[in-house]
Every structure is written in structure tokens, then in C-alpha cells.
Amino acid sequence: MMLTDSSTDVNQPLLHLQHIRVRFGSYTVLRDFTLEIPRGQTLAIIGESGCGKTVLLKSMIGLVRPEQGKVWFNGLELQQLNEQELTRERIKIGFVFQQAALFDSMTIGQNVAFPLRHHVRMNAAEIPSHVVDRLAEVGLPSHVVLKKPVELSGGMRKRVGLARALILDPELVLYDEPTTGLDPIMSDVINELIIRTRSRYTVTSVVVTHDMRTARKVADRIVMLTPVDQLKDGESQIIFDGPPSELERIQDPRVGQFVRGEAGSRLTEVLH
């Protein structure tokens, strides 16, 4: 039985998805999917395109509602919450979008301050210092607050997105492909910031990524998914679940193929 008040038991997982199914039309993205994520863990979710990683991320916070199964966050069953209650719970979650998803018409300062202005009762005079502090934590100088997103590089925009995600001191941070489109050096900067965030705050992190360097470097635990249409009857959609150090020992060729970046049998499927 899940708790209705998670504040009384820190031993409960922060996130618990139980037998969920998500379909879009006739296409099943998640099938009988079960996963628990303990508090304080950094989980990397890997798998080929179309296996349901981003849909899973959105299901965790109620942006996608499964047609079957249940999702609990902080001991609360999301399907039982109304929109106002869902909004209150989402304030505890930071989301770092794949393309940063900054508001182009706003300055960087306004972007980072956006959650504070809409969700927190704070003296307006105090907000700029909070914004500058968060930008400093991701390695950005205070003068960027006056710039527009278009004036920044891709890596800087990603860091602004992280600063915005952290501004409300979330319990959970979700990263959707945080290093996509970045060069190797900037990708590693983002990886280091994810690690630093985990060490600086009491936070649970879920990182969806294709980048095995990121997965190995930042994660305590890696879960690999495979598309439903490639599964046998009754086979779990999770084909690997363990620490990064165990990846090379797994005999499943689907895992080894993805980890090594090899086309293998998938080339034949694509060409036919």
C-alpha cells in the first residue's frame, strides 16, 4: 500500500509506476510497465528511438496519463489528483527539456525567474539575486540575465534551462536528452553539472539519453527499454536494469549492440 502522505516515510520510493500502459491510437508505447525509483538516486534511461523513453518521463509527472496502471509520486497517486493538486506536486519537479525550451521573447533573467514569479510568494526585490545565484551554479555570469536566448550558444541555453529547473529547489529533476546537439566538451560540462547538482542538493534525478558516456558518468543505475513491437509475448520492456558497471557483462545482444553503437541486425530491418 502506498502512503497518502510521503513526508512521514522517506523509505518509500519517490516514484513508483505500476503496470502502466500508454497507447497512442493503436500503437502501444508502454506495456505493463513497472518501475520504482528510490529517493536520491540518479537513474539513466536508455534505448533506441521510439522505445518510449520520453513518454515514460512525461508519465512520471502526469503529463501523459496511462490508460491502465498507476503512478505514485511522493506517495500520492497522480491519477487521483485534480489539476490544482497536480500543479502543486509539479512545483517539486524540475524539467530540463531537450532543446532548453526557453521563452524567446523573455530575457534570460525572466526565463529563470518564471517559476518563482508564478509559483512562489516572494518579494519581487529578492528574485534577481536568486536568479543570479542559480546562473552562477551552472557557470554563467550575471550579465547574461539581460540577454535573449537567441544570443546564447546551445550549451549556454542548456545551462539556463538547468538553472530554471533548479530555481524552486526541486525534489526531482528530469532531464530529456540533456547533451543532444552539443560538442563533446560541452556535453561533459553538462554531465559535470548533473553530478554537481546531485552532490549539492538532496535530489532524485532521471536522465533520458542516447549518450552512453553521459549514462555511464552520471548514473547510479541504468534502465534500458526496447520498443513494444520488438518484444515477445510476456517479455518485459526493461531489458537491462542495474549499475553502469554491469552493462558489459550482460549477454543480451540488444543491450551490447546499443551500448557499443553497432547496427547489427537492425540494419537488415531498416533496409527491408
DSSP string covering 144-161: GGGS-GGGS-HHHHHHHH
Beta bridge partners of 70: 18
Residue 18 in any domain: the answer is no
Distance between CA 31 and CA 92 in Å, rounded?
27
Domain extent for 121:
39-62+84-271
User: What pLDDT score was predicted for residue 250?
Assistant: 85
Residue 90 in any domain: the answer is yes
Residue 21 in any domain: the answer is no
Residue 68 in any domain: the answer is no
pLDDT in tens, 74-97: 999 999 999 889 888 988 999 888
pLDDT band at 124 (very low <50, low <70, confident <90, very high): confident
pLDDT band at 269 (very low <50, low <70, confident <90, very high): low
| pLDDT of 8 above 50 | no
Residue 7 in any domain: the answer is no
Number of structural domains found in the chain? 1
pLDDT in tens, 195-217: 998 888 889 999 999 999 999 99
φ, ψ (nearest 5 deg) of residue 247: -55, -45
| pLDDT of 187 above 80 | yes
Taking the model in full, what pTM does it have? 0.87
Please give the single-letter amino acid code of residue 50: G
User: What pLDDT score was predicted for residue 160?
Assistant: 93
User: What pLDDT score was predicted for residue 14?
Assistant: 94
Residue 71 in any domain: the answer is no
Grid cell listed for 256: 551490447
CATH number of the CATH domain containing 237: 3.40.50.300
Q: Mean pLDDT over residues 121-140, rounded?
A: 88
**More confidently predicted of 72 and 180:** 72
Q: Mean pLDDT over residues 103-116, rounded?
A: 91
CA distance readout (Å), 226 to 217, 221, 223, 236, 255: 22, 17, 10, 9, 9
CA distance readout (Å), 128 to 48, 49, 107, 122: 41, 39, 12, 11
Helix (H) or strand (E) segment spanning residue 17: strand 15-24
How many other C-beta atoms can be found within 10 angstroms of the C-beta atom of residue 188?
15
pLDDT band at 271 (very low <50, low <70, confident <90, very high): low
Distance between CA 239 and CA 257 in Å, rounded?
12
Residue 28 in any domain: the answer is no
Distance between CA 96 and CA 120 in Å, rounded?
20
pLDDT in tens, 148-157: 999 999 889 9
Residue 153 in any domain: the answer is yes
pLDDT in tens, 18-47: 999 999 999 999 999 999 999 999 999 999
